[in-house]
Structure 1
Amino acid sequence: MWTLPNLLTLSRIVAVPLLVASLWWPGWPAGYAIAFALYCLMGVTDYFDGYLARAQGTVSKLGVFLDPIADKIMIAAVILMLVGTHDIGGIHLIAALIILLREIAVSGLREFLAQLQVSVPVSQLAKWKTTLQLMALGALILAGALPALAWVHSVGLAALWGAAMLTLVTGWDYLRVGLKHMD
């Protein structure tokens, strides 16, 4: 249970309050720089926890359970903080809302299907969605650390919209599978 991959996953959950605290004060570039470094470190641990679990043959039920939760907690916390600091605002709130709603809906759908013993594997497109989403949020955090480089913020918002579009497509894919198992 207390394998290195599981500890890496747990470290991401434990790091979320530090990430939130670093983003708490808008206009504090040093806080955003700390948040960006922590966000990148969390991304690296996300890669290595799965890689190590598979490579060492230590994939566990706890890890399978916690990994997507750690991802969703981190993504939701960052989106909420960037909305709260107005780094994501105006029309861009729609993209953020699409991402958050899909995360909640797919989690509920997966729980429902698990009760029916139906597995829904993560598609390659969903992996691309996650990658683009992580890049978008990372760019938006980095933009707060480098306020003189306005283009970084623009790139982050464009990537956020790209992630939102992929979110709609992959969310629909999961829903179609789920609807086949509903009365």
Structure 2
Amino acid sequence: MKWNIPNILTVLRLLAAPAVAVMFLYFTRPYADWFALLLFVSAAVTDWFDGYLARAWKQETKIGTMLDPIADKAMVVIALMVIIGFSSWSPWLVLPATVILFREVFVSGLREYLGDTAGTLKVTKLAKWKTTFQMTAIAVLFAQGVFEHYLGMSVFGMDNAMVQAILNGEEEDVLGLGWKLFGMEWTGRAGLWLLWIAAALTAITGWDYFRKSVPYLKETS
């Protein structure tokens, strides 16, 4: 393997994928959410840099071309697994996540089956937008976890009447319950909208890859 900077960034992104899940094993929340969010955003940024640098410095390699989509898929799949595992299993979250996970597995299997002819399934601009929406949605959903747990820490020991009084403006909001609730609600909504858009783009690109592969799947007589 050629250890140039683009390839190193790709490998670091690949290693960051399981590290996102490990954060929740060794850190309590919301610190785990913070670490996972920062790690995921940093890895997502390198996704743009490694490709840009490889093209700009003419350092594109076969191993980098192979590892780059694997790192992207690993980041998305593991992050979604973590988010769903720590969520309330809302169908509004589970359904788009299922579409994304199914497509990634399906296309990976399709590429493996096609072997040398998999080069016909080139990454399209729409597929790149799909990845951008996926990573943005996941980052926003991790941010929701941060707001949610800071809010939970702030209301710990309060009864519902006190919480409602503070949120209604009847009591002074010393702990900032209002902005924490606002942040939690809006990152949750934005994250779901972005995830549904990502799921729609994921389904469209998955169908496009399948359509292009059909001629290579026909039985020979």
Q: TM-score, normalised by structure 2?
A: 0.77
Matching of residues 74-85 of structure 1 within 5 Å: 74-85=75-86
| Runs of at least 4 residues off by over 3 Å | 23-27
Q: Percent identity?
A: 39
Q: Give the deviation of 1:45 after TM superposition.
A: 1.1
Q: Quick check: 1:87–1:140 contact (8 Å CA) kept in 2?
A: no
Matching of residues 109-120 of structure 1 within 5 Å: 109-116=110-117, 118-120=119-121
Relative distance call for 1:80 and 1:26 in structure 2 (3 A) is farther
Matching of residues 112-151 of structure 1 within 5 Å: 112-116=113-117, 118-147=119-148, 148=180, 149=183, 150-151=185-186
Q: CA RMSD in A?
A: 1.9
- Per-residue deviation, residues 36-72 of structure 1 (Å, max 9, x unmatched): 1111110111111111111111100110011111111
C-alpha separation between the residues in 2 aligned to 1:30 and 1:118?
A: 42
Extract unaligned runs of 5+ from structure 1: none
Query: Equivalent residue of 1:146, what SS?
Result: helix
* Residue 177 of structure 1, aligned match among 203, 212, 215: 212
Q: Give the deviation of 1:92 after TM superposition.
A: 2.2
Match of 1:158 in 2: 193
Q: Give the deviation of 1:87 after TM superposition.
A: 6.1
Q: 1:57 is matched by which residue type in structure 2?
A: K
Figure out how many residues of one structure are paired with residues of the other and give that number: 183
Match of 1:168 in 2: 203
C-alpha separation between the residues in 2 aligned to 1:117 and 1:136?
A: 29
Q: 2:105 is matched by which residue type in structure 1?
A: I
Q: TM-score, normalised by structure 1?
A: 0.92
Q: 2:214 is matched by which residue type in structure 1?
A: L
Relative distance call for 1:87 and 1:27 in structure 2 (3 A) is farther
